[in-house]
Chain A
């Protein structure tokens, strides 16, 4: 039998027997991935992100991933974030799947045309990647190679459409058929915190219409702004059709917050956040406490299915923050070295 899926269903379902083997695809699921299982089971999910190293050393990737063991359901691998060059997102994902992790392959339209992208999508699925996040990408001018040629053959929405065609219609855009389609849980990004505020839900709807199974938001430092957006999304029925993971960040200090606000496109941080950090004795600790509070408040908002915790240069605190927030309840996500019942899915 030429079956690409692990046959030993009972063991694989529990732990993913050989971590590198994809899990069996459950009925009604579009991927083999653990993240889709967690979300479709109705559990509150937590994802985080890994900063791909400036290195060709695979151990460096695994070292960074290990920090999240037992606390997250999936790990985003950024694709040249901020238009800076790092190890490729696809390679990081491949290293992670070999160890059994559930990576989210961030795919931006900045560096590749439709020929390269479709090839990479097939390759990612072949390497066991179960999730993809479709992004337009930052402009090249923002990064360390501003002289590069920006591609932007697609935007995030045409990228979603393309992967959906490959997955659901088993063909390339050209119409040429695929022998085996990529099994990917498709994600997109939303940013309810920047103009045009009134159209952000419309833009979200376009992404859902284009095929997004889940979305991850930009940093939410302003819950009062998130609420009307989520109400709008609920009214439009979007949260029924698409899982919503809200992004939270860990601010290292008031200075760090001001820098982020001024230099990273699309980041909105209200003054009150900066004032609170400035007033704290230990700003780093306060930043983590604020993150924990934000996670708890966001979990209570109707229509939210999970948290995307971005802790750039604060990765070592991810475990503590997730634990203190209590958003996972008693559930412990899968880890390569399982302690007791670390299955990541409600049984």
Chain B
């Protein structure tokens, strides 16, 4: 949802705190479920992640989540799926060259990162996504160190 995603990057500091508070328990739950049931609930857990992040960030389930490094703005919403943006085509009003009704994802990202405690991580270079992971869960991968 576009409005929610703009809200998310505007409140990146708050979401960063939530992330740091909630992340260990999410990973613990995933590890617990894996221990008890193996991979039987992978599908369900992936759907939960997709729904939660979908509402809040317009998550595209790239399987390689970098939200905490990109000011809580999902780079996969960039029409060129740039992982190290912005491109040079941003309009003078800050909107996207390709989709004139959308604010540039990477302007949101840099602004969001500036509000975050560990926002400097946006200066790290992200390599291109591994397309084999598309549709898969970042939480599961993180929890299992895959």
Choose one: A136, A190, A191, A196; the contact of B107 (CB below 8 Å): A196
* Closest-CB distance, A274 to chain B (whole angstroms): 14
A206 and B125 in contact, given A199-B110, A266-B97 (Cβ under 8 angstroms): yes
* Closest-CB distance, B87 to chain A (whole angstroms): 5
Among A153, A190, A205, which residue has the most Cβ atoms of chain B within 10 A?
Answer: A153
Task: Tell whether, in the assembled complex, residue B84 and residue A137 are in contact, meaning their CB atoms are under 8 Å apart.
Answer: no
A177 at the interface (CB under 8 A from B): no
Task: Tell whether, in the assembled complex, residue A155 and residue B90 are in contact, meaning their CB atoms are under 8 Å apart.
Answer: no
Cα distance A198–B84 when bound, in Å? 16
Chain B residues, CB < 8 A from A266: 87-90, 97
A202 and B110 in contact, given A136-B80, A158-B83, A161-B127 (Cβ under 8 angstroms): yes
Cα distance A141–B98 when bound, in Å? 7
Cα distance A196–B18 when bound, in Å? 27
**Residue of B at shortest CB range from A109?**
B80
**Residue of B at shortest CB range from A202?**
B123
B86 at the interface (CB under 8 A from A): yes
Chain B residues, CB < 8 A from A199: 86, 110
Cα distance A196–B86 when bound, in Å? 8
Chain A residues, CB < 8 A from B57: none
B104 at the interface (CB under 8 A from A): yes
A195 at the interface (CB under 8 A from B): yes
Task: Tell whether, in the assembled complex, residue A206 and residue B84 are in contact, meaning their CB atoms are under 8 Å apart.
Answer: yes
Task: Tell whether, in the assembled complex, residue A152 and residue B111 are in contact, meaning their CB atoms are under 8 Å apart.
Answer: no
* Closest-CB distance, A259 to chain B (whole angstroms): 16
Chain B residues, CB < 8 A from A114: 128
Among B88, B125, B126, which residue has the most Cβ atoms of chain A within 10 A?
Answer: B88
**Residue of A at shortest CB range from B85?**
A155
* Closest-CB distance, B101 to chain A (whole angstroms): 14
A150 at the interface (CB under 8 A from B): yes
Cα distance A136–B87 when bound, in Å? 7
Among A110, A157, A191, which residue has the most Cβ atoms of chain B within 10 A?
Answer: A157
Cα distance A150–B81 when bound, in Å? 10
Cα distance A110–B128 when bound, in Å? 14
* Closest-CB distance, A135 to chain B (whole angstroms): 9
**Residue of A at shortest CB range from B97?**
A265
Cα distance A32–B127 when bound, in Å? 28
B106 at the interface (CB under 8 A from A): yes
Chain A residues, CB < 8 A from B88: 189-191, 194, 218, 265-266
Known: A152-B82, A155-B80. 18 other contacts (CB 8 A): A114-B128, A138-B97, A142-B97, A150-B79, A152-B80, A152-B81, A154-B128, A157-B84, A158-B126, A161-B127, A195-B91, A199-B110, A202-B122, A202-B123, A203-B84, A210-B125, A265-B91, A266-B89
Residues on A lying within 8 angstroms of B by beta carbon are 109-110, 114, 136-139, 141-142, 150, 152-158, 161, 189-191, 194-196, 198-199, 202-203, 205-206, 209-210, 218, 265-266, 268
Residues on B lying within 8 angstroms of A by beta carbon are 79-92, 94, 97-98, 104, 106-107, 110-111, 122-123, 125-128, 131
